Structures are given as C-alpha cells and as structure tokens.
Structure 1
Amino acid sequence: MPFATTDDGVKLHYEETGSGAPVVFVHEFAADHRSWELQMRHFGQRYRCVTYGARGYPPSDVPEKPESYSQNRATDDILAVMDHLGIDKAHVVGLSMGGFATLHFGFRHPTRARSLVVAGVGYGAEREQQARFRGEVETVAATLKSEGMTKFAEKYAYGPTRVQFENKDPRGFAQFKKELAEHSALGSANTQVGVQGQRPSLYDLVDRMNALAVPTLILTGDEDWPCLTPAMLMKREIPSAALAVMPNCGHTINLEDPDLFNRIVGDFIGQVEAGRWPRRDPRAMTSSITGMR
C-alpha cells in the first residue's frame, strides 16, 4: 500500500492510475479517497489521476492531537503527495473540505497548480453563519467522541444537502453511508476541530481571491444552500473563475450525478490544457447595467 510522508511525519495513503497531465482529487469531510472512484475511472482514461486519504482518514495516519490538523496542513498535504510522486503541476479537484483545501492551494502554491476545481465550498463562510457553524462543529466532534462512527454516520449522512443523493441514487447513497461509518471517530473529530472549525471565512480572503490567476472552476449543486452565495462571491472576486451550478443536486455532487460532474470538470480541464481558459475582461466589471451611461 503506497504512502506519501508529510513534513511533520504523517503518512498519507494514495492511489493513482492513467497517464498524461496530472489530476489530483481531494475528498470531503464525510468521504475518503474511495469517493473519487468514478472520477478515477473516467479521467484515468486520459490523465494521470491521483487520489489520497487526508490525515485522520485510515489507511492514512490518524494523528492523536487536534493541533496536527489545520487548514494550512490540509492544503500543504496536497503538495506533499505531489512532491512524493514527482508532480510539478497538477489540476487540483476538491469537494467541500477538499474544495477549501484546493482554493487555499491556489493561494499558497499557485505555481504548482494547472487549474483548480473548487466544488461544494461555502459551509460556515457567511459571517452571520460563522458562530452557528462553529457551534455545530463542536457538536459534531463531541458526538463522534461519545457515540462513535457508526451512530454518527446514521445521523450525518441524512443532512439537508445530502438527502438529494439518497432520493436520486439509493444504492450509491448506501455505499456512501457505509464508507462514512468506517472512518476513524478520532480522526474525524480532530478534523472538525482543527480544520473545519478554524478555517477563515471566505469573506476575509477577498484580496487573495483578487490576486488569484490560476484557472478556476467554481462548482456547486443548486440545492447545496450554504454554498450558493459563497459560490457567487468566489466567481465575482476571482478574475480567472467560472461558475457552474448542477441542477437538482445537493452537496455530494461527484457521487450524486457523476456523469454531469465529470462532463463539466472534463470540459474545464480540456480548455485549460488547450490554453483556451480566459481571464475576465475588465470591461465586464462596471457599475453600468447596459454599458450606456
């Protein structure tokens, strides 16, 4: 079983397939490296695809202390996997927690990114939701520690932006819930406290967004309510960003509608590889509605 080792000694399990331009997939909180299987099979036919388990997600190491987990650690772990595999630049595709890490990868390591897919990003980002979100983070962590992973999965899998997945694909949803129950309760609790609960609001990162030149795709489901307004923020503030919204979809979009997800992401990567991804024309950014002042 292959592992990459981070600068603080954490071993991260990874898998890879295919050849060509590298694409790295970064999973969400409620998933692990297995959740990208449908993307690994699809994109592995034309690209070198890599997926890995975040720290805290077996078979990757599970550090015991919350201090070993942070937004910067989650971001730099992408780089650790790339360095281990000798990948200079990659298309980085992240969902939710992985999407936040992908966005911050663009901030921290822009020269190492061919492009960024920032999918399902926005939970806790809006200022009026921050206190509530951090309160829920504490509740999640406490529940994981007191009840364990199996009971937690039975509740968390049915969140308001995940029931769409169950309604659309009961078989796929059952697999998602089963794999969630197999996670480490300690690793998941530490991830909540160290990564989810401490990451900065997107609204405090506008200056960094304005400076981001890496081709970026913002992708969200139209029923992923906490992500819709933040998605508009990122589209507006990142001059190299486009926004795609998947209809009748919740949060787990790569699993809920993999064909549409793969098509949107595939078209984006193809445009970037062809050198055809644009930056926003400054003439489009004006206070005038019609241009006739």
Structure 2
Amino acid sequence: MPYVQAPDGVKLYYEEIGTGSAVVFVHEFAGDYRTWEPQLRFFARSHRCITFSQRGYPPSDIPEDPARYSQDIARDDIAAVLDGLGIEKAHIVGHSMGGYTALHFGIHSPQRCISVVAAGCGWGSLPDAERAAAMKQHAAETGKMFAEEGIEQAAAKYADAPMRQAHKNKDPRGWSEFARMLSEHSALGHSLTMFGVQLKRPTLGEMEADLKRFTPPLLVIVGDEDEPCLEGSFFLKRTAPTAALLVIPRTGHNVTSEEPAVFNAALSELFFAAESGRWLAHKKPS
C-alpha cells in the first residue's frame, strides 16, 4: 500500500491518479480518502489527483498519543504529502475539517498553493460567544461519544446529524455509502481528532488578520441547508481578498458527494482561472 511519512514518523495512506497540475483533496471529519471518488473520477482526466487519509483514519496510522493531533500537525501533513510525492505546488481542496486545514495551509504556505477550496467550512466559528461555547461543548461531547460508544454506534449517530439530512433524503443510496464508510473508521482516531484538532483549532474569527492577507485564489462552497457553516462561509467571502463564494441550493454538509456535478464544475472554473492567472480578472484596480 502506498504511504508517505510525516515528520513525526506517522504514515499517511494515499492514492493518486491522472497527470497534469496536481490537486490534493483533504477530507472532512466524517470522511477518508474514499470521500473524493466523484472528484477523482472527473479530474483525473486533466489533473494529477491525490487523496489521502489523515492521521487517525485507516489505513493511515492512528497515533495513540493525543499530542500528535492538532491543527498545525494536520496542516503540516499536507506538506508531507506534497513532499513525499515530489510536488512543489498544487490545488488544495478541503471539505469541512479539511477546509480549515486547507485555509491554514494557504496562510502558512501560499507559495505551494495554485488555489485553495474551503467547502462546508465554518462549523464551530459562530460569531457570538454563547453559540461558539455551545459548539465547543458539542465537540467535546462528540469526542467523548466516539471514545465511549465505539465506532458503529457513534458513527450511526454522527451520520444522521441535521446537516446530513438533505443528502439522506435526496440520495439515500449515496448517504448509506457515506454512513457505511464512516462506520469503518477508528473510534480512537475520531475521538483524538475531535479533541486535538476540532476542539482546539482557532475559529475563523480568530484567523481574521491572517485571512485578510490571504493570497492564493480561494473558492468557498457551502450548501444552503448546511446551517452551521453558512455564517462562516460568508465571513470568509467578506474577509479574504481572493475569495469567491458559491452557495448550492437545497444542499447540506455532504456537498462533495451530494452535488458532485455542481461541485466539480465550480472547481473546474477555479482551476482554469487560477492556472491562467485570471482568477481576479473581474476586480477593478483599487
């Protein structure tokens, strides 16, 4: 099986297909390397596509030390994938938790980003203190649920969350596949990821100063029924100078697989514009 190695020795499983400019796909908390199959089948016709399972997600390593999970470590794992495959620059496409990580990579290593996508991004970044605290409490309860209830029971609950209902109702077969793949994960990996990454990462508001200086072309995508991510997505559009925003109607959190044709079309436009230097061609000189 193909692996790259992170600086701390953790092995990250990856798959790649296609030739051309590189695209690295970074999955959400409930996903893994398989999440991006609708994108690999489309973009492998024109790009070198790489998908990987983050640490804590089989068949990548699952470190038992909580200190080996953090937002900075997740960010650096993207660099490890690029370095391990000899890639200097790539389009970095992230979904949800992966979208946060893609943003951090774009802030920290803009020279390595042809473009950045943050899809379904914003959970845990609600603007007022009371709601933000409630989201952190929910994150802690989720981490505890995976640790105490085991993967099958916890995954069944997590897959059936309110922001997943649009996918479940419009595409029961696709949602069932998503839920099945989630149930094949590691309860330990999910718990440590929730406590180490999602609970402790900075909110988008806390990233505001860095986002105002964001330089790679940025596409923000959100479903209009993905309620926890709407405000964060609008914040990104208003804050990052290179950001464009796509709101997909009648769509929940599983936007990459729930509406793959719309999602892929948007990425195609981004990739072409970014590679041709035309992403900001519509902007008037300041």
Separation in 1, partners of 2:60, 2:144: 22
Distance across 1 between alignment mates of 2:91 and 2:204: 22
One-letter code aligned to 2:94: G
Determine the C-alpha separation between the residues in 2 that align with 1:63 and 1:216.
32
What is the match of residue 85 of structure 1?
Answer: 85
Match of 1:177, SS state, is helix
Deviation at 1:127, TM superposition (A): 3.7
- 1:43 maps to 43
Q: Report what 2:261 is aligned to.
A: 259
User: For 1:241 and 1:134, how far apart are their aligned partners in 2?
Assistant: 27
TM-score by length of 2: 0.97
Contact 1:4/1:12 (<8 A) preserved: yes
Which shifted more, 220-229 or 274-283? Answer: 274-283
Local SS of the residue matching 2:253 = coil
Equivalent position SS for 1:28:
coil
**Equivalent AA in structure 1 for residue 204 of structure 2:** L
Counterpart for residue 249 of structure 2 = 247
Partners of 1:108 and 1:207 in 2: CA distance: 13
Q: Which residue of 1 aligns with 2:187?
A: 185
Q: Which moved more, 1:233-242 or 1:22-31?
A: 233-242
Map of 1:72 onto structure 2: 72
Work out whether 1:98 is the aligned partner of 2:98. yes
User: In the alignment, which residue of structure 2 is the partner of 1:201?
Assistant: 203
Shift of 1:281: 3.7
Structure 1 residue aligned with 2:120 = 120
Q: CA deviation at 1:282?
A: 6.1
What is aligned with 2:224?
222
Q: Deviations over 1:207-235 (max 9, x none)?
A: 11111111110111111111111111111
Superposition deviation, residue 244 in structure 1 = 0.6
Matches within 5 A, 1:148-187: 148-187=150-189
- 1:155-180 deviations in Å (ceiling 9; x for gaps): 11111110100111111111100000
Task: Flag the structure with larger Rg.
Answer: 1
**Stretches of structure 1 lacking an aligned partner (at least 5 in a row):** 284-293
Paired-residue identity, %: 47
Cα distance in 1 between the residues matched to 2:167 and 2:284: 37
Structure 2 residue identity aligned to 1:160: P
Shift of 1:190: 0.2
TM-score between the two structures when normalised by the length of structure 1: 0.95
SS at match of 1:19: coil
- Runs of at least 5 residues in structure 2 that lack an aligned partner in the other structure: none
* 8 Å CA contact retained: 1:127, 1:201: no
CA distance in 2 between counterparts of 1:266 and 1:248 reads 22
The residue type equivalent to 1:168 in the other structure is K
Displacement of 1:84 in angstroms is 0.3
Aligned length: 283
What letter corresponds to residue 63 of structure 1 in structure 2?
P
Cα distance in 2 between the residues matched to 1:48 and 1:224? 30
- Cα distance in 2 for partners of 1:126, 1:281 equals 31
Whether 1:61 and 2:61 are equivalent positions in the alignment is: yes
Residue 9 of structure 2: aligned partner: 9
Distance 2:249 2:39 in 1: 19
Which amino acid in structure 2 is aligned with residue 277 of structure 1?
W
CA deviation map 1:89-134 (0-9, x unaligned) = 0000000000000000011111110000011110110243221111
State the distance in 2 between where 1:173 and 1:126 align: 27
Q: Which residue of 1 aligns with 2:31?
A: 31
Is the CA contact 1:24–1:90 (under 8 Å) kept in the aligned structure 2?
yes
Conservation of the 8 A alpha-carbon contact between 1:217 and 1:242:
yes
2:51 maps to amino acid: T
> CA offset at residue 268 of structure 1?
1.1
Structure 2: how far apart are the matches of 1:163 and 1:233?
Answer: 24
RMSD: 1.0
Give the Å deviation of 1:34. Answer: 0.3
3-state SS, counterpart of residue 162 of structure 1: helix
